[in-house]
């Protein structure tokens, strides 16, 4: 009986993880690829939507929770990470993802990033990097390349761009990866690994803005891709190796750049909870003893 029942239960489909809401993104926006990859990854992992939550900040990319049929929170600019962390600490049984853009995560929200890395709380952060502010229509982003002309850098940017992967490695993140929204299959694999990773997983997804950067960026990236998982010389547990691929000339390394096994926040918290179990204060009422004279 049960075997026949199993036979008719359909495997989760990516479409099960998408809402009916039509994305507001421009046709050709890289974020469609990320949305599809997430839906496929969720289906592959057979995540229970009622136990999954995607938290974002504000930006074109941050609209993503609206299109995913899980719990979602499209919050305020730059705060996806701490909200996601709060949710994970609130209920560690849930699968929690944070998602957003380069402006969201590496301008206004930068302050939270090193702390997410060092705390190693088990969430997955998908950062859709388009080198520009899409939603506010084309201003300079912290990841805009030098000399890039934007609406707020009319003579070309005089700033050096920040490299999110380098930052993550410097902050001792335990899972650092880079993907491309133009290669969904590869991206799905990275996201699945990231969600499975028992700690903080950072995934930079190169996700071009066709409107304010231009369609050609897809090709530029595609032509330079270097797949680390197909590179027999690449050992992603070696941090020195990882730093070498942060800022390469002429090629863009994608795949899992680095992973290590540091105890997660939750492991340490479990230890702490165990340690305080021996406490004499078994009830809240007994805490009044602290104040009786």
Partner 1 sequence: MKPNELNLGLVGSGGDGVMAAGEIIVTASAREGLNCIMLKSFGPQIRGGESACKIRITSRRCSVQADDLDVLVVFNWSDYRRFGAELTLLPHGVVLEDGEEGDPEPERPFIGSPPHAIYRIPLTRIAREAAGTTLARNMAVIGAICGLADLPEQSHLDSIRNLFERKGEKIVEANFKAFEMGRDFIRNNIKRKEKIRLVRPSVKADPRVVMTGNDSVAYGAMLAGCRFFAGYPITPSSEIMEWLSVFMPKFGGEMIQTEDEIAALSMVLGASLVGRKAMTATSGPGLSLMNELIGLASIAEIPCVIVDVQRAGPSTGIPTKSEQSDLMAAVFGGHGDSPRVVMAPTDVSDCLDVMREAFYVSEKYQIPVIVLSDGSIGQRKAAFAEPDISIVRSWERAHPPVDLDPAEYRRFLFTETGVSPMSIPGVDRMIYRAAGIEHNEFGAPTSEFEMHQRMNEKRYRKLGFIAEEVCFMRHYGPEDAPVGVLAWGSSKGAVREAVENLLDEGYPVKAVVPQVLFPLNTEKLKKLLGPLKKLLVVEMSYSGQFLNLLKTQMDLPEGTVHYGRSGARYLGIHEIMDQVRRLF
Ligand X SMILES: Cc1ncc(C[n+]2csc(CCOP(=O)(O)OP(=O)(O)O)c2C)c(N)n1
Residue 256 in contact with residue 228, Cβ under 8 Å? yes
Q: Does 281 bind partner 1 (CB under 8 A)?
A: yes
Report the partner that residue 87 touches, choosing among ligand SF4, ligand X, partner 1, none (CB closer than 5 to 8 A by kind): partner 1
Q: Is 216 exposed, middle or buried (0-12, 13-18, 19+ CB in 10 A)?
A: exposed
Residue 175 in contact with residue 240, Cβ under 8 Å? no
Of the candidates 13, 28, 111, 219, which one interacts with partner 1 according to CB under 8 A? 111
Q: Does 67 bind ligand SF4 (CB under 6 A)?
A: no
Report the partner that residue 141 touches, choosing among partner 1, ligand SF4, ligand X, none (CB closer than 5 to 8 A by kind): ligand X
What DSSP state is assigned to residue 18?
B
C-alpha distances (whole Å) from 3 to each of 7, 8, 37 are 6, 9, 31
Q: Does 79 bind ligand X (CB under 6 A)?
A: no
Separation between Cα atoms, residue 125 and residue 292, nearest integer Å? 48
Nearer to ligand SF4, 72 or 134 (CB): 134
Shortest distance in whole angstroms from residue 61 CB to ligand X:
3
SS3 248: coil
Q: Looking at residues 86 to 105 of the shown chain, list those that interact with partner 1 (rule: CB under 8 A).
A: 86-91, 93-94
Report the partner that residue 103 touches, choosing among ligand X, ligand SF4, partner 1, none (CB closer than 5 to 8 A by kind): ligand X
Output b/e per residue, 130-139; b: 16+ Cβ within 10 A.
bbbbbbeebb
Whose tokens are 């996601």? That residue is 84
Of the candidates 34, 87, 98, 209, which one interacts with ligand SF4 according to CB under 6 A? 209
**107 to 136: interface string for ligand SF4, x by CB under 6 A:** -----------------------x---x--
Which residue spans within 121-182 are E strands per DSSP? 124-129, 132-133, 139-140, 175-180
Other CB atoms within 10 Å distance of the CB of residue 96: 27
Nearer to ligand SF4, 109 or 199 (CB): 109
> Angle at CA 169, nearest 5°, toward 188 and 267?
80
Binding site for partner 1 (CB under 8 A): 19, 21, 49-53, 55, 58, 63, 65-66, 69-76, 79, 81-91, 93-94, 111-112, 115, 269, 272-273, 276, 279, 281, 284-285, 287-288, 290-293
- Residues of this chain that interact with ligand X (CB under 6 A) are 58-61, 77, 100-104, 128, 130, 132-136, 141
């Amino acid at each position: 009986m049960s075997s026949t029942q199993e036979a008719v239960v359909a495997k989760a489909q990516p479409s099960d993880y998408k809402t009916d809401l039509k994305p507001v993104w421009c046709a050709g926006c890289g974020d469609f690829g990320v949305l599809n990859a997430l839906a496929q990854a969720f289906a592959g992992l057979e995540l229970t939507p009622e136990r999954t939550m995607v938290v974002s900040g504000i930006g074109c990319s941050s609209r993503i929770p609206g299109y995913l049929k899980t719990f979602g929170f499209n919050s305020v600019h730059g705060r996806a990470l701490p909200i996601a962390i709060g949710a994970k600490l609130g209920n560690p049984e849930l699968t929690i993802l944070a998602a957003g853009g380069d402006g969201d995560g590496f301008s206004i929200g930068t302050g939270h990033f090193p702390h997410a890395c060092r705390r190693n709380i088990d969430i997955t952060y998908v950062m859709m990097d388009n080198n520009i502010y899409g939603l506010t229509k084309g201003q300079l982003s912290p990841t805009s390349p030098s000399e890039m002309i934007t609406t707020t850098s009319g003579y070309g940017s005089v700033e050096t761009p920040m490299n999110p992967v380098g930052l993550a490695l410097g902050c001792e993140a335990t899972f650092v990866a880079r993907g491309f929204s133009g290669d969904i299959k590869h991206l799905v694999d990275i996201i699945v690994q990231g969600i499975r990773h028992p700690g903080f997983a950072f995934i930079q997804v190169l996700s071009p803005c066709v409107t304010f950067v231009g369609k050609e960026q897809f090709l530029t990236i595609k032509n330079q891709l270097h797949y680390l998982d197909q590179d027999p010389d690449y050992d992603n547990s070696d941090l020195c190796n990882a730093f070498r691929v942060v800022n390469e000339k002429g090629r863009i390394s994608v795949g899992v750049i680095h992973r290590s096994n540091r105890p997660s926040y939750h492991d340490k918290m479990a230890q702490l909870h165990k340690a305080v179990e021996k406490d004499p204060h078994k009830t809240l009422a007994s805490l009044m003893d602290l104040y009786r004279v």
